[in-house]
Structure 1
């Protein structure tokens, strides 16, 4: 069987690997029964690799490996763990081009975005290499002279991680880096659509010195693997990024073992444009926030809410910009928007447009499947949408922009908060007082004020309401992987010692 470390130094790296093995306990192995499943290029439908179709038994093996590795890994010094993470980051950057091309082939996004994602993935390793050395406890004033109260922060244990297909490299390190820095060990399942990036990153981690069993990556049957991670009492935390529907299911399955949950779930991001906004900046940010990664991120804007005074000009300029976006394969020069991940994504985008048009919305640009065929969808702008339309109620997760209008600040905030999700929001205004009022009133975990960009490794990423639990990134992110232990120490002094002091 091939290992994903072979031929990594060549420009043809992502073309030459078979990926018929997964990393378990430091070894590259296939499914117990030898079964595999195909990974396809969403731009062409071509099969580009086969990976192991693992299930319950292999997951249990990976959990046992992580459990055995936990003791030795947690007792390593933070400085030692940091050195390994730093070398891992350097490996990602050294192989950035090969990894980016591999990512584009399995996920479809333009190569420029893929390169940016690899750099983003490396940034988590670099950040948590340093953050792991800053984990510390505290001493609390005790109720008696002979006592002391100490609080320790200790690694939670074995962590199960389930990563999504839309950011198949960055989500691996956003979870693994803080977990390993804290002293935890990991069993990771990447999305079935995009497992190759995770396997390649794991191979580079082994090259950087990640010990056997500390990081295990398995591919295969999602329900079986997920259920095994949830059921196992050895797994003390489950970290999942994906849909709210699956997040609810995993939370229920984790209840019997009362394990900690970190859930980064779906969004329905509003983008508010007030009458005093910088219109040029708002239009630029609208294009970035909606159409990067073909609209397939949880923080992509789903609902544009524009003040009546700016509504005609904003929609006209926005539609003009969107109509000039180039659609095509991610490895082609100058492409702005790649394919959707699969036929389900394509069908959802088409259904949202059809529902909006049936209820009176106007298509300003796009509106249907792209002439490229396959899973390509035209970048679309809809005007005249109303709150009851599916495109306003559900996360589209595709290149469809729905633009509605509002008259007052209160109306804008109410429309923005009219959602069961609360991940991200965007506000454009030059009024400082309004910026404070609206930002504080929005029921979301993250706000972009006069910017369409949010994701950075130094900031806490996560949402409220049905958008999840916990935070990833920043110093808050490592806290998800730590437990507090209270230590009350008595008998530290005696009457005789006090009398002679």
Structure 2
């Protein structure tokens, strides 16, 4: 077992601190440890980032792009090693981990180029004695708080635009899966980023978070996680009016209409609902199928789900890995038991899988779901797909929008007219139309309502790390 360190101002530190073990959820084995840092370590990292910002912000977009491109190349070169680390620490099937590392690297490549496309403006003037301009400037030191379920992609999606814009960064990875982030920072060091530009602190979320929110040198916080924590950050940010980007919880509806291609809908629904064992914020959490094809869809979907292989993610043939911890296992079990007690029918799955001491749950399909069930209202974050029959498109829209969340939604219909009108009425930031995996590097990712503030990725992704400065020049 390797004892990893924190990275602050170009040095690996924290060897004298108490350690936190990182557990492989597939077998309960310790795969590494990290230092338990707190406010002191966070503030040292923030000071380093603040000092480095004075010079990093003055480099050209081309210089910053070269660093990011070198990091991109290193991530592709070390893709398999990064993927193996990810699978070992959080259970994701190895093929999904490889895909995530590739996607994470693509974010770095994208923003390396997007940093060169940060344009100011020359405004039309109201008088001949002035010239009006808008300049774009980096917002300052950024704190990035990343989740356990996509430890590489979420870090790259935050780090890439921040560095490309001229910001420096302090990273707090999840304690459930910090090793992937540490591996990425090792590659940052190899890529030659100047000291202090990139810093990583592991340990106590509450103590490190306290330092981030109280230190005036942090001008922006970018966070992916639960809506409950996001609301706390909004309150804490008010004291210094820190800028926030928040990608929060979801409870994605998936609608299958009578004219849909059933086989395509089954394939797309599985891709959405069971990716990473259902542990994604954009998973299809509740499925609404129109009555005309309901029975056919349920039969084909249940049969396909029953064929998914569960096991240790290091096996290339595994489709479903473990849940991240025991608490997640208990939550999934509760959601399924509640649904069954209220009249849901178990089509497949519905049980814990005892295997090698891991936290496995069988991929599950429930039919006859209804709004009284907890699973139709709360995010499950597990491999469970509840299905409710609907009669009309209007009914599906009402049910889909009946949630405080608005991150992702999915629609399966072959009608351009129906699909267009339906999507116009869905209050979600991301919609997959006949597509169970709509995320893309070049597209804005984020939600409406309680699913967050701001967008990551795409052309909009870098704007969150920039300030607009208006300049009025008086001339004689």
TM-score scaled by structure 2? 0.99
Within the alignment, does 1:139 sit opposite 2:122 as a pair? yes
Give the Cα–Cα distance (whole angstroms) in 2 for the partners of residues 461 and 173 of structure 1.
14
Superposition deviation, residue 376 in structure 1: 0.2
Give the Cα–Cα distance (whole angstroms) in 2 for the partners of residues 100 and 482 of structure 1.
32
Superposition deviation, residue 455 in structure 1: 1.5
The counterpart of 1:330, out of the listed 313, 322, 327, is: 313
Give the Cα–Cα distance (whole angstroms) in 1 for the partners of residues 220 and 462 of structure 2.
13
The counterpart of 1:317, out of the listed 288, 297, 300, is: 300
Superposition deviation, residue 232 in structure 1: 1.2
Give the Cα–Cα distance (whole angstroms) in 2 for the partners of residues 89 and 486 of structure 1.
34
Within the alignment, does 1:21 sit opposite 2:5 as a pair? yes
Residues 381-425 of structure 1: CA deviation (Å, up to 9, x unaligned): 000000121100000000000000111111110000000000000
Q: What SS class does the counterpart of residue 149 from structure 1 fall into?
A: strand
Give the Cα–Cα distance (whole angstroms) in 2 for the partners of residues 254 and 35 of structure 1.
29
Within the alignment, does 1:471 sit opposite 2:451 as a pair? no
Q: What SS class does the counterpart of residue 212 from structure 1 fall into?
A: coil
Q: Which residue of 2 aligns with 1:486?
A: 470
The counterpart of 2:203, out of the listed 220, 236, 239, is: 220
Matches within 5 A, 1:106-145: 106-145=89-128
Give the Cα–Cα distance (whole angstroms) in 2 for the partners of residues 177 and 206 of structure 1.
15
Within the alignment, does 1:300 sit opposite 2:312 as a pair? no
Matches within 5 A, 1:307-386: 307-372=290-355, 373-386=357-370
Give the Cα–Cα distance (whole angstroms) in 1 for the partners of residues 2 and 58 of structure 2.
36
Does the 8 Å CA contact 2:27/2:358 hold for their aligned counterparts? yes
The counterpart of 1:429, out of the listed 413, 419, 433, is: 413
Does the 8 Å CA contact 1:20/1:36 hold for their aligned counterparts? no
Q: What SS class does the counterpart of residue 238 from structure 2 fall into?
A: helix
Within the alignment, does 1:283 sit opposite 2:266 as a pair? yes
Within the alignment, does 1:462 sit opposite 2:446 as a pair? yes
Give the Cα–Cα distance (whole angstroms) in 1 for the partners of residues 33 and 253 of structure 2.
39
Give the Cα–Cα distance (whole angstroms) in 1 for the partners of residues 284 and 416 of structure 2.
23
Superposition deviation, residue 92 in structure 1: 0.3
Q: Which residue of 1 aligns with 2:170?
A: 187
The counterpart of 1:90, out of the listed 73, 90, 113, is: 73
Give the Cα–Cα distance (whole angstroms) in 1 for the partners of residues 419 and 213 of structure 2.
42
Within the alignment, does 1:450 sit opposite 2:430 as a pair? no
Give the Cα–Cα distance (whole angstroms) in 2 for the partners of residues 354 and 385 of structure 1.
12
Superposition deviation, residue 333 in structure 1: 3.1
Does the 8 Å CA contact 1:230/1:253 hold for their aligned counterparts? yes
Q: Which residue of 2 aligns with 1:11?
A: none
More divergent stretch after superposition (341-350 vs 369-378): 369-378
Give the Cα–Cα distance (whole angstroms) in 1 for the partners of residues 316 and 259 of structure 2.
37
Q: What SS class does the counterpart of residue 256 from structure 1 fall into?
A: coil
Within the alignment, does 1:210 sit opposite 2:190 as a pair? no
The counterpart of 2:85, out of the listed 80, 98, 102, is: 102
Superposition deviation, residue 294 in structure 1: 0.4
Give the Cα–Cα distance (whole angstroms) in 2 for the partners of residues 342 and 291 of structure 1.
17
The counterpart of 1:415, out of the listed 384, 399, 415, is: 399
Give the Cα–Cα distance (whole angstroms) in 2 for the partners of residues 244 and 148 of structure 1.
44
Q: Which residue of 2 aligns with 1:440?
A: 424
Residues 358-393 of structure 1: CA deviation (Å, up to 9, x unaligned): 100011000010132531000000000001211000
Q: What SS class does the counterpart of residue 277 from structure 2 fall into?
A: helix
Give the Cα–Cα distance (whole angstroms) in 2 for the partners of residues 447 and 333 of structure 1.
30
Count of residues in Structure 1 that have an aligned counterpart in Structure 2: 475
The counterpart of 1:154, out of the listed 134, 137, 159, is: 137
Give the Cα–Cα distance (whole angstroms) in 2 for the partners of residues 374 and 257 of structure 1.
44
Residues 250-294 of structure 1: CA deviation (Å, up to 9, x unaligned): 111111011011000010000000100011100000111111100
Q: What SS class does the counterpart of residue 171 from structure 1 fall into?
A: helix
Does the 8 Å CA contact 2:95/2:316 hold for their aligned counterparts? no
Q: Which residue of 1 aligns with 2:218?
A: 235
Q: What SS class does the counterpart of residue 123 from structure 1 fall into?
A: helix
Give the Cα–Cα distance (whole angstroms) in 2 for the partners of residues 412 and 134 of structure 1.
41
Residues 188-211 of structure 1: CA deviation (Å, up to 9, x unaligned): 000000000001101101111211
TM-score scaled by structure 1? 0.94
Q: Which residue of 1 aligns with 2:45?
A: 62
Give the Cα–Cα distance (whole angstroms) in 2 for the partners of residues 285 and 333 of structure 1.
21
Q: Which residue of 1 aligns with 2:381?
A: 397
Give the Cα–Cα distance (whole angstroms) in 2 for the partners of residues 83 and 19 of structure 1.
31
Q: What SS class does the counterpart of residue 317 from structure 2 fall into?
A: coil
Instruction: Kindly name which structure, 1 or 2, has the bigger radius of gyration based on alpha carbons.
Output: 1
Within the alignment, does 1:169 sit opposite 2:173 as a pair? no
Q: Which residue of 1 aligns with 2:28?
A: 45
Give the Cα–Cα distance (whole angstroms) in 2 for the partners of residues 122 and 298 of structure 1.
21
Does the 8 Å CA contact 2:308/2:363 hold for their aligned counterparts? yes
Residues 120-177 of structure 1: CA deviation (Å, up to 9, x unaligned): 1100110000000110100101111010110011000000100000001111110000
